[in-house]
Each structure stands twice: as structure tokens, then as C-alpha cells.
Chains A and B, each alone.
Chain A
Amino acid sequence: MRMAETLAEGFPDLSQMTVARQPHWRRWLAAAGILVILAAVGRAFAGGQIEWSYVGRFLTAKVILEGIINTMVMAVLAMAFGIALGVAVAIMRLSPNPVLKSVAAGYTWLFRGTPLILQLLLWFNLALVFPTIGIPGLWSLRAVDVMTPFLSALLGLGINQGAYTSEVIRAGMLSVDAGQYEAAQAIGMGRLRALRRIILPQAMRVVIPPLGNEFIGLVKATSLASVIQYPEVLHNAENIYYANSRVIELLIVAGLWYLLVVSILTPLQMLLERRFARGYLQAAR
């Protein structure tokens, strides 16, 4: 055997040499091609029949601003409702109790299995089924008064969102190591306390990216509430173009607002992710 002190010949010292840059000519070509296509599309739109001055004028119109605020209010409330429902249903789904389990599975099946727009229309037209709502003999209200566009949209979007969110939360709970639940039990925690203190906080870390996805989807799904007269941004844009016939211009206005809102949500999600990554930063990166 050779001793380690004498190294073999024929392997030069590379530490003083630099690595040459690769010429990425294919990337340059692709980028040039894309620029040409973008220029062509841009030229087509510039010369098309779009009155850009209308876009600028209506972008900050009062009705449009009210619309986007209504959109955001509805998205946030429906998401909060959806998360609350989703957590409860996920816990039921994973409980050892067969009754709770079936109720949770049935809920998910029903509300994931029918189109959202159909559910919204059902809630809005609930008065056709139940003309009055209340406790018989004590008090009652006319369903038409209760089922306003706002409440119908909130119930429709929130309950539908809950069905999807419950699956996301359940996936997050399943991703937590079984040893965590045992450790929680070993220090005397019951099931619900272990879920609240130990399992769910760890599940949140995994759940936030898909939940962000769900929320972005929900922001845009609020536009479906336009069919039940909820004054969100698309509904208000439509009302304007019914009057002035500037259809494309107002659709562009609404589209720009959705883009802006979604663009703001992405960094917010990053902040949340960082909050729930406590204790993982070293391990994960």
C-alpha cells in the first residue's frame, strides 16, 4: 500500500484556473422569439377597437372601487368561514367516531360534487323552498328578506370553500408524524388539546401554500356571485357596460383589479409561511 504523503502524478492543480462562461445562445434565441410574439400581440391590441381612455377613466371609478372592496370583503369572510368549517370537518373526518366521520364525508361529497354557481343560485332562491324561516310559533322571517345577495353569496362560497379546505387541512394533519400525537398523549393531553396545541400548528406549515391557492381561487370565484346580484367588481363592471356598451374596456378594468389583488396576496402568503415555519428554518433549507 502507498502512503498518503506522496500523491500520484498526472492530476494537475485546478485551483488557479477559472471556469469559462457558457454561451447560452439558445436562451437568447428563445427570448428574442418571445419578444417578437409579444410585440405582435401588443401591436394588434393597440390597433384594435379598444378605447384605452375608457380603461383609464373607469379603473378608479367609484362603482368599480366599491366593487373591488365588496369582492375582497366577500373573499375574506367566505375564506374565514371556509377555514373554520374546513378545520372542524377535517377533525371530524379523522375522528374515531363513525357518525362524525360519515357526516364529514357526506358534506364534502355533496358540496364538492355540485357546481358552485348552482349552489349560489340555490341559496339565493331558498325562499322558493322555505317562504319563512324561524322557530314555529316563536318568531319567523320572510326568507326573501333574510337571503340577501350578501348572505347567499357568503353561505354559498363559504360552505363550498369549507368542503375543499377540509381536504387541504386533513392532508396537513396526516403529514404530521404520528409520534407527535403520542408525545402529546404522553404528557396527558386529550385528543382535542393535542390537535389544537401540537398537530394543527404543525399542519399549518404544510397547509398554507395550498390554502393560498384556494384563497386566490376564491377571490376570482366571488365573480360568480354576480349572477345573484352581489355587487362585486365584475357585477358592477357589467352594469356599467350595459349602459355605455364599452364591454371590453370594462372587462379589462375588472381584470386589472383581480390581477392587482392576486399580486398583493402572494407576498402576504410568504409572510404567513415564515410565521408558521418557526423551528423549521434550519432543517428545511
Chain B
Amino acid sequence: MTQPLVAIRSVSKNFGEFQALKQVSLDVYPGEVLCLIGASGSGKTTLLRCINQLISIDSGGIWVDGELLGLRERDGRLHRLTSREIARQRLKTGMVFQRFNLFPHKTALENITEGPVQVQGRNGNEARAEAMELLRRVGLEAKADAYPSQLSGGQQQRVAIARALAMKPMLMLFDEPTSALDPELVGEVLSVMKGLARSGMTMLVVTHELGFAREVADRVVYMDHGAIVESGRTADVLGAPREARTQAFLSAVI
């Protein structure tokens, strides 16, 4: 059996009194597409943000590519990593946000080249050529010089996907990537994500699009109140859920 790309063990996170994550454990294997579903407030977005260390966890551990996130073991004790080391660890994961978060003062192309040039120190011309290739891949080569305010929501999200891919991550995290979109724009973003899944990218997707999950996901994880209630092969979880809570959620959504 291959090693999991992401291993999550007994992760808990509280926001004050609110328990956002309770003892969550999960493995994600290379090349796998895993969809996290559940009601809002169930902890799926929190889990995703912990994997990208936008939130620090209270207890437990997360390993990406065999490397423990945010902590180092030395002399039998755990020490926090510096912010520089955390920034380096983040390069293994790409993140796509619900509200796109494109840089509004930069063109589509500049949004994509910003990370490779500024953070990875890549050559500008090379980075621009690769960014154009990525824009072609998401169907927006004609919009290279457009500012985010000149793009539709769906186009912005596709640029945001290209921006994350430009860092050549091993893992892509999607935080409800279509929730902020007008219904007619959802399809274009999902089709880019499907193409990415076919290309073998490991993907962890928080979504309400059960149709997308059914079509693309290898596994589905259902979360409720900060815990994983049920996980398994897509057809099993969505087609024949074992847990009563999963059944209730699915019948409410469909």
C-alpha cells in the first residue's frame, strides 16, 4: 500500500467555546479526489484550512507528504516551526477560496506569476509562459491582461485555480469553490476541476455540489458537528449511506 499524501490524526480545534473539529482522522492518497460534504458549521472548511495552516490546530497532527505540519519533534518534545518554515510547507498545497481572493490590483496573468516569481524566485519570462499555458488550460488565454473586476465570478475562480496550480502543488484544496457563483457559472468551474482530477491531481474538495462529487470523487466524507460521521467510496456514501445523519443530510440536500 502506498503512503497517504495527507494523514490527519486526532485533530481537534476550538474557537473559544465552539468545538470546530473533534478528534478528526483521515487519509488522502496520491491521485485521489476526496469530497467533504456536510452542513455549514460542520467543520469541513476548518479542516481544509488546517491542512493549509491558515488555522493552527489545538491537538493532534497533520502530515503532508510525510512531513508533520507546523511542528518539529526534538528531544522528545514538540517545537513550533517558524513562520518561514510554515510558508515553505504551504508550497506543497494549493488553495482555492470560496470568494476567489484574486489580487484586484494585478491582472489575471500577474496574479498567476506573482507566486512563482516573488516566492519561488523563478525567471519572469518563464513564469509568464507557464502562466499563459495555465490560462489556456482554464480557457482564459484571451483574458491574460484583464483585471479581476473585469472578469465574471466563474472566470475569476478559474484564474484562482490557475494561480494555485502555478506553484506546482502536490495537493489542491478547494473551499466551496462554486458557492459564491451565479448558477449559470458553476459549470465552467466544475469542468476545469474535472479536467484537473482526470490529470491525476490529488484534490480535497469542500462542496455542496453532490452531482460533481458523484461524477468525480473517489471517496466522500460526510462531516457533522466537527466530526467525521461517515466516509467511504462515493457510490456507497451517496447511494447507500449507513448512518442516519448522513441519510437525513442527503435527503435534505436532494
Contacts and interface: CB of A to CB of B under 8 A. Distances in A.
B147 interface: yes
A3 interface: no
B201 to A, nearest CB: 16
Interface string A176-202: 010110111111111101000110011
B119 A188 contact: yes
Given A202-B104, A282-B147, A282-B149, A187 B84 contact: no
B88 interface: yes
Contacts of B87: 185, 188-190
Given A182-B97, A186-B90, A187-B115, A280 B149 contact: yes
B80 interface: no
A187 B52 contact: no
A180 B54 CA distance: 12
A183 B172 CA distance: 14
* Of A183, A205, A281, most B-chain CB atoms within 10 Å: A183
B103 interface: yes
Contacts of A280: 104-105, 147, 149
A9 B105 CA distance: 53
A183 B105 contact: no
Interface in A232-285: 276, 278-283
A47 B87 CA distance: 74
Contact of A187 (B83, B88, B149, B163): B163
B19 interface: no
A103 to B, nearest CB: 20
B101 A177 contact: yes
A179 B97 contact: yes
Contacts of B54: 182, 185-186
B148 interface: yes
Contacts of A282: 147, 149-150
Contacts of B149: 279-283
A226 B102 CA distance: 50
Contacts of A198: 103
B105 A202 contact: yes
B118 A279 contact: no
B19 to A, nearest CB: 23
- Chain A contact residues: over half helix, strand or loop, or mixed? helix
A282 B149 CA distance: 6
Interface string B219-241: 00000000000000000000000
A190 B105 contact: no
Residue from B102, B118, B163 having most chain A Cβ neighbours under 10 A: B118
B147 A188 contact: no
Contacts of B52: 186
A197 B91 contact: no
Contact of A183 (B88, B101, B119, B147): B101
A182 to B, nearest CB: 6
Contacts of B138: none
A182 B101 contact: yes
A279 B111 CA distance: 12
A113 to B, nearest CB: 34
A188 B103 CA distance: 15
A202 B90 CA distance: 24
Interface in B188-247: none
A37 to B, nearest CB: 47
B90 A188 contact: yes
Contact of B106 (A177, A279, A281): A279
Contact of B105 (A177, A191, A278): A278
B119 A189 contact: yes
Given A179-B97, A183-B102, A279-B107, 17 more contacts: A179-B99, A179-B101, A182-B97, A183-B101, A185-B54, A185-B87, A186-B93, A187-B114, A187-B119, A187-B167, A188-B87, A188-B90, A188-B120, A189-B119, A190-B84, A202-B105, A281-B149
Interface of B: 52, 54, 83-84, 87-88, 90-91, 93-95, 97, 99, 101-107, 114-115, 118-120, 147-150, 163-164, 167
The 8 A-B residue pairs with the shortest CB-CB distance, nearest first, are A187-B115, A279-B147, A183-B101, A283-B149, A186-B95, A179-B101, A188-B119, A188-B91
Interface of A: 177, 179-180, 182-191, 193, 197-198, 201-202, 205, 276, 278-283
21 contacts: A179-B97, A179-B99, A180-B103, A183-B97, A183-B103, A187-B114, A187-B115, A188-B88, A189-B87, A189-B115, A189-B118, A189-B119, A197-B114, A202-B103, A279-B107, A279-B147, A279-B148, A279-B149, A280-B105, A283-B104, A283-B149
